[in-house]
Amino acid sequence: MTGQMSIYNRNSVQVLFSSWMAVFALFGVRATFAVLKDPIAAASGWSQTQVSFGYSLMMLSYALTAFVSGYLLDRYGPKIVYGIAAVFGFFGLLLTALLEGYAAYVVFFGIVTGIATGMLWVAATVTVRTWFTGNTYARSWGLAFCGAPISQFALAFLMRHLLARGTWNTAMIFLAGIVGAALAAAWFFSKHAPEHYGISAAGSQYALSPSSGEGDWGVKQAFTAMTIWVVILLFLTSMMGEFLIWTQIVSFWTEDLAWSRDAAVSAYSVIGITGIIAMPLAGRISDSLVRTMGSELHARKIMLAAGPLIGAAACGGLLLSGHAAAPSYAAAVLFAVYWAIVPGGVVGYAGAYFGKKSLGKIWGIATMIVMGIGPFTGTYVGAYLRDVSGSYYWSIVFALGAFLVSCVSAMLLPKRPSVRKH
């Protein structure tokens, strides 16, 4: 007989720490690109579009690997997933730094590092979701997701420090060591689903799929339902806007607004500092909404509609930054709040709607679609619009539109379970 798991015990704390390390590594690679992009272009002579293409290809590799990681996670658990990520992440970044030429950059940064990062998101989010559900998920994911803003804040400053004293190659070698060590820790502390230890997830009383009598969905049933495609559209358009901003915002501040690189990196770090507070706080607000409404689906839907709207407001702040720095700093704070809500919120909604039997596979396929289109398109379009117009203004307008489409998509999500097709 299985017992209800207390919210935080030795096993669950290890799960959170493991996911924290995975997210730290994942966003360490993503966030530092905004700082490294211009030095790579300056040292190599490659255009902004060429340099950004390597990142876009990394996200495409990420997407394809996410599909595989979901199947590995459901069948073997997270250890094999994190083990693969540790090896590919360390050697992908190291060889990007050591080998010269655009082909090596594309292969090792774009493909090999992309495989590593693609192993992380599904494993981190789904593992937390299997251990914490209902009114315990968002606060727990907020704690695990704090690895992202801490990584963005700390590694942005580390990269700036290293770039001031050496080349981008040296900075990336340090990044390879940090990512390798973080993922080794994620591998060591990772855990199977709670059922493997004879317990059930915390907050199970709010899991709406089982209580609705419909049970857990299979992959085929999930992808014949309209709901998964609305979730995908919501997540895809948010990622399109988010990744355009992540990869181009430092360049926008230095090129369009003529800020110094130190000032731009400091402003970029505000996103990380705010995120450290916003992520657990947004999680607690979301879980409180679940308790108040007695419906996880409805509460997650409300949060998912608010998140992209906040992202759109942040883009508006950037567009108003021509004559003063304050709107840019306000935009950085708003981006952190958006970031605290949407990426984890979509997993929470999907888990509540479809159950957990095939969540790794379902979310792996969804992530493959989203990350194969959203980040690649957002990053590439952001660089392309800058190259053809000479300004990042239209890139930010594009991101604003993507966030608004995401908000409308969230409003279309059902707020209660529907009858599952058999």
| Domain range annotation of the chain | 8-190+205-411
pLDDT of amino acid 168: 92
Q: What would the two tokens of residue 379 be?
A: 């990053």
pLDDT of amino acid 129: 86
Tens of each residue's pLDDT in the chain, 422 residues = 345 556 778 888 999 999 999 999 998 998 788 788 889 999 999 888 888 888 888 888 988 898 889 889 988 999 999 999 999 999 999 999 999 899 999 999 999 999 999 999 889 988 998 888 877 888 898 899 899 889 888 887 888 889 988 899 999 999 999 999 999 999 999 998 888 787 777 655 544 444 333 457 888 999 999 999 999 999 999 999 998 998 888 889 999 999 998 888 888 888 888 988 998 899 889 989 988 888 888 999 999 999 999 999 999 999 999 878 899 999 999 999 999 999 889 988 998 898 877 888 898 899 889 987 888 788 888 888 988 999 999 999 999 999 999 999 999 999 877 655 54
Whole-model pTM: value is 0.79
> If you count them, how many residues does the chain have?
422
CB 129 within 8 A of CB 348: yes
**Cα dihedral 385, 386, 389, 393 sign:** positive
Residue by residue, DSSP assigns 192-256 as: --GGGGTEE-BTGGG-HHHHTT--PPPHHHHTTSHHHHHHHHHHHHHHHHHHHHHHHHHHIIIII
pLDDT of amino acid 344: 86
- From the options 1.10.10.60, 1.10.3720.10, 1.20.1050.90, 1.20.1250.20, give the CATH code of 8-190+205-411: 1.20.1250.20
Instruction: Give the containing element (helix H, strand E) for 60.
Output: helix 48-76
pLDDT of amino acid 196: 79
pLDDT of amino acid 2: 46
Q: Beta partners for 202? A: 132
CA 30/CA 378 separation, integer angstroms: 14
Residue by residue, DSSP assigns 309-363 as: HHHHHHHHHHHTTTS-SHHHHHHHHHHHHHHHHHHHHHHHHHHHHH-STTHHHHH
pLDDT of amino acid 212: 38
In terms of C-beta density within 10 A (0-12 exposed, 13-18 middle, 19 or more buried), how is residue 215 classed?
Answer: exposed
pLDDT of amino acid 67: 83
pLDDT of amino acid 5: 53
Within 252-295, where are the H helices?
A: 261-293
